[in-house]
């Protein structure tokens, strides 16, 4: 694997490029995203999320050595494809980058308000729908701000 952050060839977990976040993700997140038989995942394993855009790796375990790449999961990862219109920025409410790119400022703000209100009512499931395993509201806000300032 070629590590995008440092450009070096990485062949083992001892040298894996961790990206910038080094975020521990729930085993439930990994199981929900897995597009392979779940018996391949040890039930007590611990995974990290790899946010490095130039790496195909999405999850890795320093415990068992398991690596899960983009081709092994059900969703395209926003952290790796944040400029691609067909990538979800909000997985629970099915909002894509392209939806925000083509929307007016008013439409973007309405989408954001609806996401926040729905999340506050408990209508989201970020832990199992977002490959990162956490809330996407911050990513949505950053993307809206970026498009509003263009």
Residue 65: left if φ>0, alpha if ψ -120 to 50, beta else—which one?
left
Task: Decide which of 24, 50, 72 is a domain's last residue.
Answer: 72
Q: Do 50 and 108 fall into the same domain?
A: no
Please report which confidence band the pLDDT of residue 115 belongs to, taking 50, 70 and 90 as the band edges: very high
Which residues have CB under 8 Å from 120's CB, separation 6+? Answer: none
Beta strands in 10-76 (DSSP E): 23-25, 47-49, 57-60, 67-69
Query: What's the whole-number mean pLDDT along residues 6-29?
Result: 59
Is residue 14's pLDDT more than 60? no
Q: Do 46 and 63 fall into the same domain?
A: yes
- DSSP-assigned letter for residue 25: E
Q: Do 25 and 56 fall into the same domain?
A: yes
38/30 Cα distance (integer angstroms): 9
When divided into structural domains, the chain yields a total of 2
pLDDT for res 22: 66
Instruction: Examine residue 90 and state whether it is found in any structural domain, yes or no.
Output: yes
Structural domain boundaries, residue 115: 78-148
Please report which confidence band the pLDDT of residue 33 belongs to, taking 50, 70 and 90 as the band edges: very high
Q: Do 89 and 140 fall into the same domain?
A: yes
pTM of the model: 0.82
Instruction: Work out the mean pLDDT of the chain and round it to a whole number.
Output: 87
pLDDT for res 23: 83
pLDDT (tens digit per residue) in 52-86: 898 999 999 988 999 999 999 999 999 999 999 99
Q: Do 109 and 47 fall into the same domain?
A: no
Cα end-to-end distance, the chain, whole Å:
35
Q: Helix, strand, or coil here: 114?
A: helix
Q: Which two tokens stand for residue 3?
A: 């590590």
Closest CA to 135 of 93, 99, 106: 93
């Amino acid at each position: 694997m070629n590590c995008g952050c440092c450009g070096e060839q990485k062949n083992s977990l001892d040298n894996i490029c961790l990206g910038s976040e080094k975020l521990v993700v729930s085993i439930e997140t990994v199981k929900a995203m897995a597009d392979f038989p779940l018996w391949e995942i040890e039930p007590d394993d611990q995974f990290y999320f790899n946010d490095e855009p130039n790496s195909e790796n999405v999850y890795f375990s320093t415990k068992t050595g398991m690596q899960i790449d983009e081709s092994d999961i059900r969703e395209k990862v926003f952290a790796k494809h944040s400029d691609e219109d067909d990538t979800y920025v909000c997985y629970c409410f099915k909002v894509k980058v392209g939806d925000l790119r083509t929307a007016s400022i008013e439409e973007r703000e309405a989408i954001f308000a609806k996401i926040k209100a729905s999340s506050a009512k408990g209508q989201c499931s970020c832990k199992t729908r977002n490959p990162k395993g956490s809330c996407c509201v911050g990513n949505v806000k950053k993307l809206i701000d970026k498009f509003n300032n263009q």
